[in-house]
């Protein structure tokens, strides 16, 4: 990460728009979650984040890792059996695996 990115992250943390979430178990990198304040502090970043999340969910659904009903007024995302099979999860790219693991973290008790 370069100095400009570090400064953006620092400012988002100070504004309360970004919160520390832990460490990536594969890379050891720090992980962050956006708070609702990101919509106000950096709306363009929020929009880009939503696009990325939607893209990742669609990819995981199309490849059988997630279940969702696209025709529902309020689609609910759930994990498929494939999402729980480690040998199948390992077939994903690191980014898609990270997205699936974040979805699991949110959905599983």
pTM of the model: 0.78
Interatomic CA distance for residues 21 and 32, integer angstroms: 5
Read off the pLDDT of residues 47-74 as tens digits, 9 standing for 90 and up. 999 999 999 999 999 999 999 988 888 8
Read off the pLDDT of residues 67-109 as tens digits, 9 standing for 90 and up. 998 888 888 899 999 999 999 999 999 999 989 998 998 898 7
Average pLDDT for residues 2-11, to the nearest whole number?
A: 90
pLDDT of 72 reads 86
Would you kindly state where each structural domain of the chain is located, as residue ranges? 1-41, 43-109
pLDDT of 15 reads 95
Q: How deeply is 27 buried, as exposed, middle or buried, from its count of CB atoms within 10 A (0-12, 13-18, 19+)?
A: exposed
């Amino acid at each position: 990460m370069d100095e400009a990115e570090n400064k953006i992250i620092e400012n988002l943390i100070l504004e309360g728009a970004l919160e520390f979430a832990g460490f990536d178990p594969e890379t050891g990198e720090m992980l962050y979650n956006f708070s609702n304040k990101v919509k106000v502090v950096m709306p363009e970043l929020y929009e880009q984040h939503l696009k990325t999340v939607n893209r990742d969910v669609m990819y995981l659904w199309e490849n059988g890792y997630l279940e969702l009903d696209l025709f529902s007024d309020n689609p609910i995302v759930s994990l498929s059996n494939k999402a729980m099979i480690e040998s199948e999860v390992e077939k994903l790219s690191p980014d898609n695996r990270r997205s699936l693991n974040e979805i699991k973290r949110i959905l599983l008790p």
